[in-house]
């Protein structure tokens, strides 16, 4: 569902440039933050089940390690590009900074279609990719996590491959692991739960009530479906959802769990009984109170944004809104909770998991959720206050908070040598 008309890296740099002008960022610091610290490109030969050898291309980008190890997901998708991964790594830097956790931004990806590969092929590809990037990852250096088309099992393979090369278990090398090998309670739903906390704060600021509100979710992967479920549990009505094959709509509302069960059986939400079919573009224009883009980048564009009728847009996906669309939504009075805040619950609980793995002391789900809410509420209020005091959009406000923090850390550390 990626829109190839836009370059995410150019968009990410443009966002930084805009904020740099607003906060009068030092030109030297600006130049440092505008480029990734390190970008690794590797070829990944894999013996396929039929005996042939295929070679995949993979990337790992570390945008910043000024405030701590780089942190970010690993995606498997046929449309992955180096520019996309660079943009996602930069956004991770701002995401970690805006919620105040001691990480910089990283991201990785492999150009492949895992839906057309066997589990054994995906495992061999994952292990070879880990071996190729083993010199630049580690608990103190760079910590991968799940992203598009990756999951706890993929993280387990990375952890095992890394640990076998080190000669001892290193659970802190990745987050999003299965619980049995050092994962954290609450990690699987953290992105969606953090998004829920942001929506709850936004609803209060807008003088609305979550109970009885209407919701549309584009993207029914892990973040999208759990966000739909959590909002449904809070009394909201989920009118429409979609995945890569299309969407469904019901004016009477959907049961998110029943829709998930249908998707697990049929591989798509499309065709769920009693619903009307909608496209991924049409779903963005359905009248609702809260729109949750939870798919890939560049979904809300100059073309699709004019149709948006939501009061709140909560970006569970990374980079779903282009700068042109941002301006349109702002003119329409839509409150956009930007990705680096709205979906920061995932990296926040990844931070919790990293801490627990290092200490080998684990928290309950209730402890994790309480700590997550505290951080998300604080970050939301800091960004909202910055928005009001600077009379800018919430996205610009979140960048002002984040870039200032990274710039200050860069200034304090200085430029080596």
- b (16+ CB within 10 A) / e for 62-97: bbbbbbbbbbbbbbbbebbbbbbbbbbbbbbbbbbb
Q: Could you give the C-alpha distances from 338 to 118, 166, 210, 396, in angstroms and in order?
A: 36, 39, 19, 9
Q: Token digits for 265?
A: 């059986």
Cα–Cα distance between 363 and 358 in angstroms, integer? 13
- Half-sphere exposure in the Cβ direction for 417 (13 Å, CA): 0
Q: Which residues participate in catalysis according to the annotation?
A: 107
Which residues 6+ apart lie within 8 Å of 50 measured at CB? none
Q: Token digits for 285?
A: 């224009």
Q: For residues 363 and 356, is the Cβ–Cβ distance under 8 A?
A: yes
Q: For residues 312 and 335, is the Cβ–Cβ distance under 8 A?
A: yes
Q: For residues 35 and 107, is the Cβ–Cβ distance under 8 A?
A: no
């Amino acid at each position: 569902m990626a829109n190839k008309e836009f370059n995410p890296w150019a968009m990410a740099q443009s966002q930084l440039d805009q904020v740099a002008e607003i906060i009068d960022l030092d030109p030297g610091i600006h130049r440092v933050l505008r480029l990734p610290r390190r970008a690794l490109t590797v070829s990944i030969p894999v013996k396929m089940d039929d005996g042939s050898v295929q070679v995949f291309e993979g990337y790992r980008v570390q945008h910043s390690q000024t405030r701590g190890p780089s942190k970010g997901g690993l995606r498997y998708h046929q449309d992955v590009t180096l520019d996309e991964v660079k943009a996602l790594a930069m956004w991770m830097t701002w995401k970690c900074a805006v919620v105040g956790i001691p990480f910089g931004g990283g991201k990785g990806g492999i150009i492949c279609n895992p839906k057309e590969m066997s589990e054994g092929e995906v495992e061999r590809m994952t292990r070879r990719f880990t071996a190729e990037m083993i010199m630049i990852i580690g608990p103190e250096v760079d910590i991968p996590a799940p992203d598009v088309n990756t999951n706890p099992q993929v993280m387990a393979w990375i952890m095992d491959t890394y640990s076998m090369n080190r000669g001892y278990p290193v659970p802190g090398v990745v987050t999003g692991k299965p619980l049995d090998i050092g994962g954290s309670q609450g990690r699987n739903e953290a992105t969606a739960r953090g998004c829920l906390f942001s929506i709850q704060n936004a609803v209060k600021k807008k003088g609305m009530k979550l109970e009885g509100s209407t919701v549309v979710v584009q993207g029914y992967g892990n973040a999208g479906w759990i966000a739909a479920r959590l909002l449904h549990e809070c009394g909201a009505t989920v009118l429409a959802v979609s995945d890569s094959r299309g969407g469904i709509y019901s004016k009477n509302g959907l049961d998110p769990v029943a829709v998930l069960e249908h998707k697990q059986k049929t591989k798509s939400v499309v065709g769920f009984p009693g619903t009307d079919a909608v496209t991924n573009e049409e779903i963005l224009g359905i009248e609702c109170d809260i729109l949750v883009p939870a798919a890939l980048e560049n979904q809300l564009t100059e073309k699709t944004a004019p149709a948006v009728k939501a009061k709140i847009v909560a970006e569970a996906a990374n980079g779903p809104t282009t700068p042109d669309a941002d301006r349109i939504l702002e003119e329409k009075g839509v409150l956009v909770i930007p990705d680096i805040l709205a979906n920061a619950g995932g990296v926040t609980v990844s931070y919790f998991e990293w801490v627990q793995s290092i200490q080998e002391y684990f928290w309950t789900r209730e402890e994790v959720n309480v700590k997550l809410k505290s951080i998300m509420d604080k970050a939301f209020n800091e960004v909202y206050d910055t928005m009001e005091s600077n009379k800018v959009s919430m996205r610009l406000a979140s960048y002002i908070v984040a870039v200032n923090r990274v710039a200050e850390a860069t200034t304090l550390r200085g430029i080596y040598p």
